[in-house]
């Protein structure tokens, strides 16, 4: 079974002293604090993580478990708000019907 790494950014890159730390975080895919990414466990990724180890927290996981966890992190649209033009027409139709 393929191993994956669960990488979470725990500190900001703003206080990072070196420019290359910011570049490595961007290359890993981080854009904001406290985001979690799943990456394959390769020597290249391990090297990047080692370079910014003070900014991230790392856990080893199995590939199927990581995929299930990542899929559950999304959201579902339950109901959409009416569009602005449609809401105005609906309100006008209701007032006209009331008379």
* Tens-place pLDDT, residues 19-42: 889 999 999 999 888 888 888 899
Q: Which residue has the higher pLDDT, 52 or 1?
A: 52
pLDDT (0 to 100) of residue 76 = 47
What is the mean pLDDT of the segment spanning 2-22?
86
What domains appear along the chain, each with residue ranges and CATH number?
Answer: 3-98 (3.30.1390.20)
Residues 45-78: tens digit of each pLDDT: 999 999 999 999 999 988 666 666 666 555 444 5
Helix (H, G, I), strand (E, B) or coil at 36: strand
Report the length, in residues, of the chain: 99
What is the mean pLDDT of the segment spanning 81-91?
61
Q: Which residues contact 36 (CB under 8 A, 6 or more apart)?
A: 6, 7, 8, 73
Q: Percent helix, strand and coil across the chain, each rounded to 5?
A: 45, 20, 35
């Amino acid at each position: 079974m393929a191993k994956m790494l669960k990488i979470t950014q725990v500190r900001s890159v703003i206080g990072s002293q070196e420019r290359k730390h910011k570049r490595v975080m961007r290359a890993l895919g981080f854009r904001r604090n406290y985001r979690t990414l799943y990456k394959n466990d390769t020597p290249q990724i391990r090297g990047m993580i080692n370079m910014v180890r003070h900014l991230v927290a790392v856990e080893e996981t199995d590939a199927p478990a990581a995929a299930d966890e990542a899929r559950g992190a999304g959201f579902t649209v339950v109901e959409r708000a009416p569009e602005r033009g449609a809401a105005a027409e609906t309100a006008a139709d209701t007032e006209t019907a009331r008379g």
